[in-house]
Structure 1
């Protein structure tokens, strides 16, 4: 790999690809070296394209772009490691969306705490077109997160986005135990 005057090398110097008779022309070799310097960043980017789409290797400023590809949103307050994990697990999280397990996993990833999700059920069916639901408890979701200092409002927003809209919920955050 020949280095360019700017310091970024190129594995394909254009001068070496010219026919032999043109490689003897000093001006033409200098001219192609200038072009090498211009296109070296593009070649380096294309050579490393796999690293840009791998959440474990992508530069931190590309994580938002990569998250858009897998249909997930990143919280700006999350660490780079949390953002990488959210992108890497996006497919699994989408697969579990709408389930208690999926909600638990999403909250564990976002908060780093121990998550307990309980729901009252709320699924009913009837042979009659109009069903009388009296005597049945309404659907309700309770989320308890232990061992973290995340705000209840942030967790509330995550739960609101993940649960069915008609199901009321309650969020409790039990902070980290501080030694006495």
Structure 2
């Protein structure tokens, strides 16, 4: 059955018998199809909005609200996505050293180029009671940046630790290396030379007491 020449017909109109195709019905279905097709596209794209890794950046606070998470505006977008994506399984470990360590690792990981294992939590202290320590190893040496990172780390710890506990936070930063990582990897057992730890720069003279002439 042939179809009269003319403008392309609506996709919905193509589904009707030829006898029911007229200009009025065609215009009506074309308008309806335009609206409904936009809705179909929106529905088809909905899963992308529910995935933290693909959702638009402006949609992330809404997703965070679904998992009872508060996102800091100064976090990189990758860090915000990772927190939303990984925080729900960690709720089972809230208030524990392991849970705190994993949360801090999510925050530290992008700073250290995706490396893990740069967070340690120590809570095996007899005295004082309810005391623990957190150590972060960061690939960052800028003092301003380090101050901001420390403030954020403290905010995470304060929100996750049990209310009756208190802690000390230690930030470990890069220092001068006199042996390359490549050399150490090729020579197992080699100890790094770390300035101020096992290496001195300058003389080993006794320090001058205050008030003595130099």
**TM-score, length basis structure 2:** 0.62
Q: Give the structure 2 partner of residue 143 of structure 1.
A: 134
CA contact (8 A) 2:87 2:103 kept: no
CA change 1:90–1:19 in 2 (3 A) is farther
Per the alignment, residue 108 of structure 2 pairs with: 111
Stretches of structure 1 lacking an aligned partner (at least 5 in a row) = 1-11, 123-135
Indicate conservation of the 8 Å contact 1:115/1:146, yes or no: yes
* Alignment partners' CA distance in 2, 1:32 and 1:177: 70
> How far did 1:19 drift?
5.7
TM-score norm. by structure 1 comes to 0.72
Aligned position for 2:204: none
What is the aligned-residue RMSD (CA, Å)?
2.6
* Equivalent residues in 2 for 1:31-180, closer than 5 Å: 31-112=28-109, 114-120=118-124, 137-149=128-140, 150=146, 151-177=149-175
Moved over 4 A (4+): 17-20, 176-180
Closer/same/farther in 2, CA of residues 177 and 75 from structure 1, 3 Å limit? farther
CA distance 1:80–1:28, shift in 2 (3 Å): same
